[in-house]
């Protein structure tokens, strides 16, 4: 048998069989679970309000803060106790971790969470059995317990001390503000945590001048600014730029598809899958219906959502075939067969 013809019969199957195997495999790789019953009820129209606290909640938070109109002494504060005419009883005291100060004759005295006036009254009352005509004044020398913790995406996270009651923007500024980030990274919100209450504030509105969101803070409040990666969504499958996408305020389903560069021409626009793992729900969306009467399908996107665009079954074959240049394949076979 001619050597060139022999190589053609040997090489041709070696090229064609892997291609056929590849085409067969591509017909089965896109396996998506069925849609959840009544899934549309689990999603909302493009309204990001639930990601932020309501105006009512913010108002109540501010009113609760304003109820504390006088400073309360706390552990670590340095206080100057002055007993008029009694220098031996006067001096600077540091409130201990048990909330107490020490006085001559009397011993320890609990002053934690008392105002300066209440502390002066407590000292006077404690000394009265031992001294006549006691008059006491209390002055805070150093506010060591007046602290707020700020964590997350700021230049200098940590503890911030203050003398007068600060506002949210004051603390963010003292923490060095937020770092410069890439255009595709967006910090959308921050949390103010006070005991068992969490208030979510829209950072975009706060930083563009919405003074109603510049809320007053209290001692021991915690400010948390999540990283942009904490607000990511995933757009996968037959889109032009698949991958992780950063959420932006008011992001909708269409916005997420747009960030991914739109659907490719071999994408199945009739069965686009929106999966919300956090709620274990799965919605199948027909893109044509979003632009038609059923605009409610342009639902809001939450953190961690997954959008998956499958390819048409027919398009899978044509797409793979387009990736294999038939001329280069034939030329390669011909070159192989022509080898000595």
Question: Which of 30-44, 179-193, 242-256 has the largest mean confidence?
Answer: 242-256
In a domain, 198, yes or no: yes
Tokens at 13, concatenated: 């199957």
The helix-helix angle for 313-323 and 3-26 (nearest 10°) equals 140
Q: Are residues 249 and 290 in the same domain?
A: yes
Assign residue 253 the CATH number of its domain.
Answer: 3.10.560.10
Q: Are residues 62 and 211 in the same domain?
A: yes
In a domain, 170, yes or no: yes
What's the CA gap between 311 and 269, in Å, rounded? 9
In a domain, 201, yes or no: yes
Q: Are residues 255 and 234 in the same domain?
A: yes
Q: Are residues 15 and 134 in the same domain?
A: no
Q: Are residues 254 and 195 in the same domain?
A: no
pLDDT for 288 equals 83
| 23 confidence band (pLDDT: 50, 70, 90) | very low
pLDDT for 324 equals 39
Q: What is the DSSP letter of 252?
A: B
For the residues 181-193, what does the mean pLDDT come to?
A: 69
- Give the tens place of pLDDT for each residue, 128-154: 999 988 999 999 998 888 889 999 888
Which domain covers residue 298, as residue numbers? 34-49+230-317
pLDDT higher than threshold 50 for residue 17: no
Count how many Cα atoms sit within 13 Å of the Cα of residue 218 in the half-sphere of its side chain: 18
| 83 confidence band (pLDDT: 50, 70, 90) | very high
Lowest-pLDDT range, 89-98, 256-265, 286-295, 330-339?
A: 330-339
Give whole-number Cα distances, 32 to 202, 279, 295, in Å. 35, 17, 24
Between 249 and 312, whose confidence is greater?
A: 312
For the residues 82-91, what does the mean pLDDT come to?
A: 90
Assign residue 88 the CATH number of its domain.
Answer: 3.30.1950.10
Q: Which residues pair with 236 in a beta bridge?
A: 308
Closest CA to 190 of 205, 210, 211, 212: 205
- Give the tens place of pLDDT for each residue, 194-253: 887 888 898 888 988 899 999 999 988 999 888 765 567 888 888 999 887 877 666 788
Domain count, the chain: 4
pLDDT for 240 equals 94
Q: Are residues 238 and 298 in the same domain?
A: yes
Q: Are residues 106 and 134 in the same domain?
A: yes
- Proportion of the chain above pLDDT 70, given as a percent: 70
For the residues 22-42, what does the mean pLDDT come to?
A: 49
Q: Are residues 62 and 191 in the same domain?
A: yes
In a domain, 73, yes or no: no
In a domain, 103, yes or no: yes
Tokens at 161, concatenated: 């001390």
3-state secondary structure of 148: strand
Q: Which residues pair with 200 in a beta bridge?
A: 191
pTM, to two decimals = 0.55
Q: Are residues 176 and 300 in the same domain?
A: no
Q: Enumerate residues 6+ apart whose C-beta is below 8 A from 233.
A: 244, 245, 246, 247, 251, 256, 301, 302, 303, 304, 305, 306, 307
Count how many Cα atoms sit within 13 Å of the Cα of residue 331 in the half-sphere of its side chain: 5
pLDDT higher than threshold 50 for residue 331: no
pLDDT higher than threshold 50 for residue 22: no
In a domain, 203, yes or no: yes
For the residues 63-85, what does the mean pLDDT come to?
A: 87
Between 67 and 225, whose confidence is greater?
A: 225
Last residue of a domain, one of 174, 202, 229: 229
């Amino acid at each position: 048998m001619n050597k060139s013809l022999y190589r053609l019969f040997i090489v041709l199957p070696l090229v064609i069989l892997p291609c056929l195997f590849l085409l067969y495999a591509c017909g089965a790789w896109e396996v998506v679970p069925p849609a959840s019953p009544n899934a549309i009820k689990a999603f909302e129209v493009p309204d990001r309000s639930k990601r932020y606290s309501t105006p009512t909640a913010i108002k109540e938070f501010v009113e609760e803060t304003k109820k504390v109109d006088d400073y309360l002494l706390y552990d670590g504060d340095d206080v100057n106790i002055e007993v008029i005419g009694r220098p031996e009883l006067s001096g600077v005291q540091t409130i201990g971790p048990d909330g107490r100060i020490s006085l001559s004759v009397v011993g320890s005295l609990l002053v934690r969470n008392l105002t300066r006036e209440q502390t002066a009254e407590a000292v006077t009352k404690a000394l009265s059995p031992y001294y006549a005509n006691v008059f006491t004044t209390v002055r805070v020398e150093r506010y060591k317990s007046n602290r707020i913790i700020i964590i997350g995406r700021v230049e200098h996270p940590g503890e911030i001390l203050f003398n007068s009651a600060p506002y949210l923007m004051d603390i963010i500024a003292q923490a060095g503000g937020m770092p410069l980030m890439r255009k595709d990274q967006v910090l959308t919100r921050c949390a103010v945590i006070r005991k068992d209450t969490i208030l979510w504030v829209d950072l975009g509105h706060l930083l563009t001048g919405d003074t109603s969101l510049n809320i007053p803070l209290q001692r021991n409040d915690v400010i948390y600014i999540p990283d942009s990666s904490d607000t990511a969504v995933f757009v996968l499958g037959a889109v032009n730029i698949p991958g992780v996408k950063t959420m932006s305020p008011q992001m909708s389903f269409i916005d997420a598809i747009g960030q991914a560069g739109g659907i490719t021409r071999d994408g199945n626009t009739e069965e686009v899958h929106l999966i919300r793992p956090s709620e274990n729900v799965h919605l199948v969306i027909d893109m044509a219906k979003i632009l038609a009467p059923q605009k409610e399908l342009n639902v809001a996107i939450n953190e961690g959502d997954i959008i998956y665009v499958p390819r048409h079954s027919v398009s899978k074959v044509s797409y793979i075939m387009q990736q294999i240049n038939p001329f280069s394949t034939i030329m390669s076979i011909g070159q192989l067969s022509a080898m000595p």
